[in-house]
Each structure stands twice: as structure tokens, then as C-alpha cells.
Structure 1
Amino acid sequence: MTDLTPAKIESLFTRANGDYLFARWGRAIVPVVFGTDDATLQTVKGAIEAVTLLAGHHMAEHDPELGVNLMVFFFRDWDELLSVPDLDRLVEGLPTTVARLHAADANQYRTFRFDTEGAIKAAFVFVRMDDQMSRLPAADIALLQAVQVILLWSDTAFKERAPLVRAKETAVLDPDIAALIAAGYDRVLPAVAQDPSHALRLFARLV
């Protein structure tokens, strides 16, 4: 039995400005990972694949429009992003965003691009390996990022409820969040929703 209520589900997709906005991927996910060794690369791609399969979605080797559509960057300092070739063309307002994240001492950030219908068509994930992140196992970081990029969660979604829980020494996906991801990819439901009543439709698929 889930402890998620329609109101709690609604809050997970209600942004800080009060707008309800749900979106899922509208195309196959094609990831690429920068800034890791081969072992961590496989861990990150494995986590993305696992969450994608959980959602009932799919991955591919190539996106016909973009080539790759999920870029994951690991680095030590936000300023490193400013030297990545052409990244400023992919992420609008990159210098301003980097300055804001630097000032906030943030260690992660995600930004999305959408197709004409509003479904996710690309995402960019940035993880700064500060002291806090460096203490986490690579598998935990990978799963956390995969979960947060599979849907367009609210910008405040996981401030009070973490998407991962611990099973002994291993971090696993919260069963309620896992069920919600699967519900979000139900083919009967729209890929994009802006009406809070959508949360009721998600809830109906959890019980």
C-alpha cells in the first residue's frame, strides 16, 4: 500500500511558482556521460537503463534529430562547464546559470528541452563532485540522477522526501517513487499534463 496521496503526488509536479507541470520522455533515451572513468561510466549508463526499463520506456543508440539527447557531466568546479565546446549553444544562458549555481554552492543541476508537444526531448545533467558528492558511492549518484531525469519533477519535489531509500548498505529506489514513475509512463496517460487533476490519474494507477 502506497503512502502517496493525490495531494502528495500533485506536490511532486507542482513547481515553486504554483504551476502543475508533468512531462515524460517522448522519444528513446540516448545517453552520453562525460568526466568519469570507464567503471563509473558503466555504472551511470546501467542506472539510466534500469530506470528506463522500470518506466516501460526504451533507450537507443542514436537520436535521429540530436544524435544523443541525455548528456551527463561530472566535474569539480562549475566554471569548467564554460570551457566545454558548444555547450553554451545547447544550454541557453549557460554563463548566467553557472554563476548562479556557483553562488549557491550547488552540487547538481538538470535542465530539459522539449518537443513541440511539450514532452522531454533532451536533458542535461550536471554533477559537481564536491565533498558531499564524493562521499557517496558512484551507484547512489547514478541512480539518483537517473530517477530525477526520467520525469520532469517539480523543482522542489525531493526537498522533503528523498527518491532513494537505504536497504542495509545499498541505496535503492523508493518503492512509491518507482511505482509513480511506472504510472507516469502508462500509455493511456498523456506525455504532458498541466492540470492538477492529472495527479488523480497517477494515483489511480498506484492503488
Structure 2
Amino acid sequence: MSDTPDPETIAALFTRSDGSYLCARWGRPIVPVVFGVDDATLGLVKGGFEALCATAGHKMAETDPELGANAMVFFFRDWEELLSVPDLDRLIEGLGPLVARLSAEGANQYRVFRFDADGAIRACFTFLRMDEALSHQPAETLVLGQVAQAMLLWSDVAFTDRSPLAQLSDGRVVLHPEIAGVLRAAYDPVMPNAATDPSHALRLAARMRTQA
């Protein structure tokens, strides 16, 4: 990406592996809850959402009137552990087959989104199997990367070859400036909660130019 991404580059972030375009943002305040970690990591996750909500100009809340918490992050060692989480099978349709597939693939992360009638994100479930690769990441880096991927419905291949994060000269890891720009543009009040037409990327690019 250049300093000012062109519309085609932005569109690629939301063009799925089947060729379809889909971008969605949260349409309600985000209420995160974390399972399977200590209080320190819990604080990191909530802090990550606070930071990126501030970047996006979006809100957080103490509770969601419909779901209680709507951004659920699960840390665990084995996919099979999810089958024993109370009521999770009611939240995630087809949980058993999903767990079997992810286990067979050796996956270490997976996200499930739920949407409102207008296509806006209403819930996100992030599952992290702490294998060797994830365990070796600094906690702050892992958390910020996961929160970034929960803030928008990105393409399923958006971050296959690149990270949404960047490292500063002092060693700190932050959201990549260009990804931050896309995030701010997507949450601009004039933009729709969800879009399936690639021309949406043209509007994102225009919003990013006004940010510069």
C-alpha cells in the first residue's frame, strides 16, 4: 500500500475469496467480554477495543440490551474445549461440525460475525487456539491484531499476506496507518453500515483523502 491507497487496493481488503465485495461495520456500541485469560489480558483486550473505537469514532458500552456482551473473545488450547462452554452451541450454529473442521485444519483462529437487518455487525465471536505461533506473539500485538479484525468485516484473505499492524522505530506495535485510515473512513457517519458494491471502495478512498 502507498501512503494514499488507491480504490483498487482498498477494494481488495473487502473482496472475498469468492470474488464478492462486502464491508460491514458495527451498528451498535461494542461490549467486549473475554474468556480463558487472566485479568491482565482481559484489560489488554478491552484496552484494544477502546483504542480502536477511538480511532474509528465508534462507541463502547457496559452492556448490550439484546446480548449483554456482543464482542466475545475466547482463548483456549484445544478446539474441543469449545464444546463444553455452556450455551455456546446456541450462539454458534453448527458448533460441533465447525470445531471438527477447525481442529482437522489445525487452525489457530476463527471469527464468527452476526448482523443486524441492515447488514451492520451486531456481534463478533473471536476464537483463538493458543498454539505455538500465537503463544510466541507478545500479548499486546496479538490482542491489537485480533481487535482490528473484529472492527470491520474484512475480506477472508485481507490479512493473509500482510498484518494490519506496524512496528514503530521505538519497538511499539500500532495499527498500520493505512488500515487506521480505512477504519476511520468506514466509520464516517456519511458511510453506510454495510455495502456489497465495489464502488464503496471509491467512497472510502474519497473519505481517506479528506482525512489527509
TM-score, with structure 1 as normaliser: 0.97
Q: Following the alignment from structure 1 to structure 2, what is the Cα–Cα distance between the partners of residues 74 and 130?
A: 10
Deviation at 1:82, TM superposition (A): 0.6
Alignment of 1:19-34 (within 5 A): 19-34=20-35
User: Is it true that 1:157 corresponds to 2:172 in the alignment?
Assistant: no
User: Is it true that 1:94 corresponds to 2:95 in the alignment?
Assistant: yes
Tell me the secondary structure at the aligned position of residue 73 of structure 2: strand
User: Is it true that 1:176 corresponds to 2:178 in the alignment?
Assistant: yes
1:161-195 CA distances to partner (integer Å, 9 max, x unpaired)?
Answer: 21011124322110000011000000001111010
Give the aligned partner of residue 167 of structure 2. 166
Q: Following the alignment from structure 2 to structure 1, what is the Cα–Cα distance between the partners of residues 168 and 98?
A: 36
User: Is it true that 1:187 corresponds to 2:189 in the alignment?
Assistant: yes
The question of whether the paired residues in 2 share the 8 Å contact of 1:2 and 1:206 is answered with: no
The question of whether the paired residues in 2 share the 8 Å contact of 1:55 and 1:182 is answered with: yes
Alignment of 1:65-144 (within 5 A): 65-144=66-145
Give the aligned partner of residue 7 of structure 1. 8
Deviation at 1:3, TM superposition (A): 4.4
Q: Which amino acid aligns with 2:40?
A: A
1:6-65 CA distances to partner (integer Å, 9 max, x unpaired)?
Answer: 111111101111110110000000110000001111011101110111110000001111
Q: Which amino acid aligns with 2:14?
A: F
Structure 2 unmatched ranges of 5 or more: none
The question of whether the paired residues in 2 share the 8 Å contact of 1:25 and 1:191 is answered with: yes
User: Is it true that 1:47 corresponds to 2:79 in the alignment?
Assistant: no
Q: Following the alignment from structure 1 to structure 2, what is the Cα–Cα distance between the partners of residues 104 and 28?
A: 34
Tell me the secondary structure at the aligned position of residue 205 of structure 1: helix
User: Is it true that 1:202 corresponds to 2:204 in the alignment?
Assistant: yes
Q: Following the alignment from structure 1 to structure 2, what is the Cα–Cα distance between the partners of residues 79 and 33?
A: 18
Q: Following the alignment from structure 1 to structure 2, what is the Cα–Cα distance between the partners of residues 71 and 138?
A: 17
Deviation at 1:132, TM superposition (A): 0.6
Q: Following the alignment from structure 2 to structure 1, what is the Cα–Cα distance between the partners of residues 166 and 55?
A: 17
4+ long deviations beyond 6 Å:
none
Q: Which amino acid aligns with 1:122?
A: A
Tell me the secondary structure at the aligned position of residue 199 of structure 1: helix
Structure 1 stretch displaced more, 101-110 or 24-33: 101-110
Structure 1 unmatched ranges of 5 or more: none
Tell me the secondary structure at the aligned position of residue 173 of structure 2: strand
Percent identity (aligned): 60
Query: CA RMSD of the aligned region, Å?
Result: 1.0
TM-score, with structure 2 as normaliser: 0.95
Q: Following the alignment from structure 1 to structure 2, what is the Cα–Cα distance between the partners of residues 23 and 139?
A: 25
1:133-170 CA distances to partner (integer Å, 9 max, x unpaired)?
Answer: 11111101110111000000010111122101112432
Q: Which amino acid aligns with 2:109?
A: Q
Q: Which amino acid aligns with 2:36?
A: G
